[in-house]
Amino acid sequence: MATLRLGDIAPDFQQDSTSGPISFHAWAGAAWVVLISHPADFTPVCTTELGRTAALAGEFARRGVKPIAVSVDPLESHRQWVGDIEETQGAAVGFPILADGDRKVALLYDMIHPNALANATVRSVFIIDPKKVIRATLTYPASTGRNFTEILRVIDSLQLTDGHKVATPADWTDGDDVVILPSLQDPAELTRRFPRGWRALTPYLRLTAQPGR
């Protein structure tokens, strides 16, 4: 399987989960999806990550995002692990955890680490839009917990820039100024899209208030 790239269609699959059988594209529907892979159940860093995902259920829902996790461990193991997550992290796990014992999903999404154990999945995040297009990927080492503030920030940026001819600059967070795309040069369209004006630091670097804020 070739490495998935940004802009590729997220592969569809059918797999069992803690929420019952999942047909991925049908389950995703018209939502954004965050797919999070874990190398194994009962691992300490991943326990905190799934707890954080659960605690942020309202933030994901507000953005129209459905989280889903995957591990190569079996379903019964997942169910036992969910108990640990909820007890130690103080949040109910309301999203599915795929039981990928046959590594179907891991192989489709190129999650098997070539320099690790044969069943050890890379700790990856895939952000997938409602058209099932992979819009962003993040990969973390085993020792470093994932930054969910960054995951939400990337989703905010993607959703904002999909609706406006802007990009988000370094360290941008929701509400900050944004960058007008260099391709937008028509004065009338600029005025219509950005009625509050903009600051041209250079001909190609023009800052404006975030649309809709």
Please give the positions annotated as active site: 46
Which residues, 6+ apart, have CB-to-CB distance to 76 below 8 Å?
none
Given a contact cutoff of 8 angstroms between Cβ atoms, the answer to whether 82 and 32 are in contact is no
Given a contact cutoff of 8 angstroms between Cβ atoms, the answer to whether 126 and 137 are in contact is yes
CA proximity to 101, closest of 16, 211, 207, 26: 16
**CA separation for the pair 168, 190 (Å, rounded):** 17
Angle at 76 between CA 73 and CA 80, to 5 degrees: 95
Where would I find the H helices in 37-124? 44-55, 57-62, 75-89, 104-108
Question: What element of type H or E holds 198?
Answer: none
Output the DSSP codes for 8-25: SBPPP-EE-BTTS-EEHH
Which phi and psi angles does 69 have, rounded to 5°?
A: -115, 165
**CA separation for the pair 6, 154 (Å, rounded):** 14
Specify which residues 99 forms β-bridges with: 71
